[in-house]
């Protein structure tokens, strides 16, 4: 998949790769800085903005899509899997609310991030605008963490 990104202009590569689930900032910032030799501020801004682009769509559309999938024989297994994955992440959001959502999104580990955080928020019926703001704040914090980790890794090279 990395080869596909190399066909795009550098800025677009960072921006688009940060929108991809699982990749998000964990890939786009190190790739932009280390492989594409872009500056940290530019990579950070493109990555954070790109990672938040899917958030409104996830918050607004995913519950209806999952419900449709769970009611369709062919897509039921996938719908159940997505629903269960999202619900597994909701216990901390129920306890800590929007602050918990921001911190959940901010953790740069697999299974966290904007996609999973917004999925869980939408399944819990959390308020759209507050969830979107929490996702933006969390993504900004994740970007700082990933940038620091990238700079530490770059020093080790």
pLDDT at 6: 64
Nearest residue to 53 (alpha-carbon basis) of 122, 136, 137: 136
What are the E-state strand segments in 32-136?
Answer: none
pLDDT at 87: 85
HSE-up of 77 (CA within 13 Å, CB side)? 1
C-alpha angle 48-58-75 in degrees, rounded to nearest 5: 135
Q: Would you place residue 19 in the very low, low, confident or very high pLDDT band (cuts 50, 70, 90)?
A: very high
Cα 52 to its chain centre, rounded Å, is 7
pLDDT at 3: 66
Note the pTM of the prediction, 2 decimals: 0.86
State pLDDT tens for residues 88-103: 878 878 889 999 999 9
For the chain, which residues make up each domain, given as ranges?
2-156
Looking at residue 107, the DSSP 8-state letter turns out to be -
């Amino acid at each position: 998949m990395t080869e596909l990104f190399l066909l795009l202009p550098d800025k677009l590569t960072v921006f688009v790769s940060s929108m991809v689930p699982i990749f998000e900032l964990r890939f786009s910032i190190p790739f932009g800085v280390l492989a594409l030799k872009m500056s940290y501020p530019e990579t950070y801004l493109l990555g954070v903005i790109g990672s938040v682009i899917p958030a409104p769509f996830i918050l607004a559309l995913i519950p209806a899509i999952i419900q449709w999938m769970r009611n369709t024989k062919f897509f039921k297994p996938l719908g159940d899997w997505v629903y269960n994955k999202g619900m597994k992440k909701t216990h901390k959001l129920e306890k800590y609310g929007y602050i918990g959502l921001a911190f959940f999104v901010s953790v740069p580990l697999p299974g966290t991030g904007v996609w999973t955080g917004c999925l869980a928020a939408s399944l819990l019926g959390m308020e759209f605008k507050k969830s979107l703001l929490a996702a933006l704040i969390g993504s900004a914090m994740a970007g700082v963490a990933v940038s620091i980790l990238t700079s530490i890794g770059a020093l080790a090279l």
